[in-house]
Amino acid sequence: MFYEINIALNGRHFFATAERSITDRATLKKVYSVLSLKFPKDEGYEITVTQNMRTAKDIDPETI
């Protein structure tokens, strides 16, 4: 699982975090609080946050 923060400027993509950057809720809160100050809405920025879930399954090599 990871969180992705996307920042748009005047409706166009500007910046996004990498999937390895934010892997827990505590880090999300820290990063979001900084980015929301640096990229204010009144200057045309919009910040969205997505939680991405991934699953993995072991496969027995004998069944390939």
Per-residue pLDDT tens over the stretch 2-60 = 999 999 999 999 999 999 999 999 999 999 999 999 999 999 999 999 999 988 888 99
Structural domain includes residue 39: yes
Structural domain includes residue 60: no
pTM: 0.81
Structural domain includes residue 6: yes
If one counts the domains in the chain, the total is 1
Q: Which of 7, 9, 4 is CA-nearest to residue 49? A: 4
For residue 43, give its domain range: 2-54
Structural domain includes residue 59: no
Report the pLDDT value the prediction gives residue 22, as an integer from 0 to 100.
97
Structural domain includes residue 61: no
Report the pLDDT value the prediction gives residue 50, as an integer from 0 to 100.
96
Report the pLDDT value the prediction gives residue 54, as an integer from 0 to 100.
83
